[in-house]
Amino acid sequence: MAPRTPTPAQNSYDYQANAESDCEYDDTGLGLALLEQVEPFLTFERIQFNAEARLATFLFHFCGGRRFQATMSLTGPLQDLDETPVVRNALLHIGLCILPWFWMGYSCTYIRIEAGYLNSEQVHFWEEFYQSVLSEYLYLHGLDRDRLHIIVDAPASEALPVLADRKLEQ
């Protein structure tokens, strides 16, 4: 089996993504999914935030096996950056923007979100967003445009407050 190619390195947006795994050929998750006869899934597991280093790390995994992470350096005019609900909410949605690059490696029907809670309106927004963003990829690979489904695996008690002056448009 040929070694897997890591995801691209740092670019001009001070964003870098590294595919990491405990094992060079760790496809345990796919094997378990096949054994259990379940649909393979990509999980947005969690966000590690280091305010002092101004780094956010977004952690993903495929069926509990292969693990991936994307690290973002938070540069700019921000003086103090604390882990407030507003910052956590922004990071959650940044992670949801990063997710398609990892998703394209597996084209799973199901995307599990453990990193934070999304209400039904947000789930609908992100499903439509992914279907739009990935429409060319889905077409070129002969995949159904409506194949993406988000499953929120975080309790509603972990819902982050929506900014008072922000609302999803109808």
Cβ pair 57, 47 in contact under 8 A? yes
- Average pLDDT along the chain, 170 residues, taken 10 residues at a time: 38 37 46 59 93 90 90 76 80 95 91 94 94 92 88 88 63
> Taking Cα atoms as reference points, which of 97, 60, 54 lies closest to residue 72?
54
User: What's the rounded Cα separation, in Å, for the pair 82 and 48?
Assistant: 13
Cβ pair 118, 87 in contact under 8 A? no
> Taking Cα atoms as reference points, which of 11, 99, 10 lies closest to residue 62?
99
User: What's the rounded Cα separation, in Å, for the pair 71 and 152?
Assistant: 23
- pLDDT of 94 reads 95
- pLDDT of 17 reads 41
Tokens standing for residue 86:
């507003």
- pLDDT of 165 reads 64
- pLDDT of 86 reads 81
Long-range contacts of 87-91 (CB under 8 A, 24+ apart): 87/49, 88/47, 88/49, 88/116, 88/160, 89/116, 89/160, 89/161, 89/162, 89/163, 91/47, 91/49, 91/56, 91/58
* Pairing mode of beta strands 110-113, 149-152: parallel
pTM: 0.73
Q: What sign has the CA pseudo-torsion 51, 53, 56, 62?
A: negative
